[in-house]
Structure 1
């Protein structure tokens, strides 16, 4: 019976299978590398696109911030101009007030009353003087109450002091300045630096 030696064929077959396996592994690695590279490129493209959009948004935000700053500066300038306009309107509305006030002070003083001092603090006038009697001071307060330019007279002090012989009673009277046609809430308040000083 003839004997056939299959060892060389089996070895060659094993070697061929090993080569095929190695080739498949190499092909798989290369394929996986290509797929990974493509995926990496895709993600890099997405990231670069998002970064470009972010940069565009940041530029737009900076432009908007600049415009907001300009608008705020314009608002401050507008507020300052409105404040100046209101002050000018207040001055225009009340420039004759002091003239009318002094005229009204002269007209409202009854006989037997003499003023020695007039002081202004904001909208309040403090009147100091002497009178013949308490009744004269009461008459003076009624006269002030009837005035269009003064309101709410408030007697702080009335007492007998050393003074003119005919005017033995000293008094301190406070009265609020008023503007005809305006209520106290909408009255014009002017502070010209003389508040608290003698008129």
Structure 2
């Protein structure tokens, strides 16, 4: 006997398919939500970490900027101190330079040359004067070159002037010298080694002067401490003997008579 299914199986299968579809759709939705949450959590942590790193870098950059400002301030202070030190060293060098300079001017000037003017502009010294001949000026320039305190002498002017005879003067008259000259010399800038050598030389001279003064004081103290020589006492017996001699002479005369 044939069996016929009269139940609505197509509707049941359609409902089953719908249930399966909605189930898969729900699972996909839940999976999508979970995946989206995981992605959001991951990138949120990444962003938070990057913000923390940015804040750390910003803090370190601010610290480095402060250190750079401090370094710039120290560099400026160092440059200012170095400039002040250079000025002090220059003054220290020129303090004795003028003494040596004038000493060199006196020692190097030959006979027949008289200086009438000295002018300094920076490291250039201008010397003007009168001379008996051109050869005296050449000798003077060689002496200046060899003095050690002046270099590169350059003759700028030399010309004959009217000669005026001096009357009744034992000193050489400047106007009696027939040539007028003007020359320029350069003053060398001493190096730090030369400045240190000058300081050591000055310190040695001060120590020698102090030692000589101390020796003088010691000698004076020793001389004052020595006992004075005792003068010999006058001989009282000699006047008595001299007085007795005249008394004895008359007695001898009476006996003879």
Q: Into which bin does the TM-score normalised by the smaller protein fall?
A: 0.7 to 0.9
**Corresponding residue for 1:29?**
29
Please tell me the root mean square deviation across aligned C-alpha atoms, in Å.
2.6
User: Is residue 75 from structure 1 mapped to residue 75 from structure 2 by the alignment?
Assistant: yes
What SS does the aligned partner of 2:140 have? helix
Aligned equivalent of 2:145: 145
Larger % of strand: which? 1
Return the offset for 1:70.
0.6
What residue is the counterpart of 1:197 in the other structure? none
Q: Which whole-Å deviations, capped at 9, do the CAs of 1:92-138 have from their partners, x for residues lacking one?
A: 23302112212322333233222222222222211122212112212
Deviation at 1:152, TM superposition (A): 2.6
C-alpha distance in 2 between matches for 1:110 and 1:70: 60
Query: 1:59-104 CA distances to partner (integer Å, 9 max, x unpaired)?
Result: 1111111112112211221222122123212322330211221232
In structure 2, how many angstroms separate the alpha carbons of the residues matched to 1:25 and 1:167? Answer: 127
**Who is 1:112 aligned against?**
112
Picking from 171, 178, 181, the partner of 1:171 is: 181
User: What residue in structure 2 maps to residue 193 of structure 1?
Assistant: none
Query: Which sections of structure 1, spanning at least 5 residues, go unmatched?
Result: 189-199
Cα 1:45/1:14, change in 2 over 3 Å: same
Structure 2 portions without partners, runs of 5+: 165-174, 196-257
Sort the Cα spacing of 1:88 and 1:163 in 2 relative to 1 into closer, same or farther, 3 A: farther
| Partner Cα separation in structure 1 for residue 185 and residue 151 of structure 2 | 6
Aligned to 1:39: 39
Q: Is the Cα–Cα contact under 8 Å of residues 178 and 187 in structure 1 kept in the other structure?
A: no
* TM score, norm. by length of structure 2: 0.63
Instruction: Kindly indicate whether structure 1 or structure 2 has the higher relative contact order, using CA contacts under 8 Å at least 6 residues apart.
Output: 1
> Which structure has the larger Rg over C-alpha atoms?
2
Match of 1:158 in 2: 158
Name the CA distance, whole Å, in 1 between partners of 2:162 and 2:68: 69
Which residue does the alignment assign to 1:135?
Answer: 135
Query: How far apart are the structure 2 equivalents of 1:171 and 1:156?
Result: 8
Instruction: Please report how far the alpha carbon of residue 18 of structure 1 lies from its aligned counterpart in structure 2 after TM superposition.
Output: 0.9
Task: Indicate the SS of the match to 1:118.
Answer: strand
Distance 2:74 2:111 in 1: 59
Cα distance in structure 2, aligned partners of 1:110 and 1:65: 66
The equivalent of 1:96 in structure 2 is: 96
Match in the other structure for 2:87: 87
TM-score by length of 1: 0.79
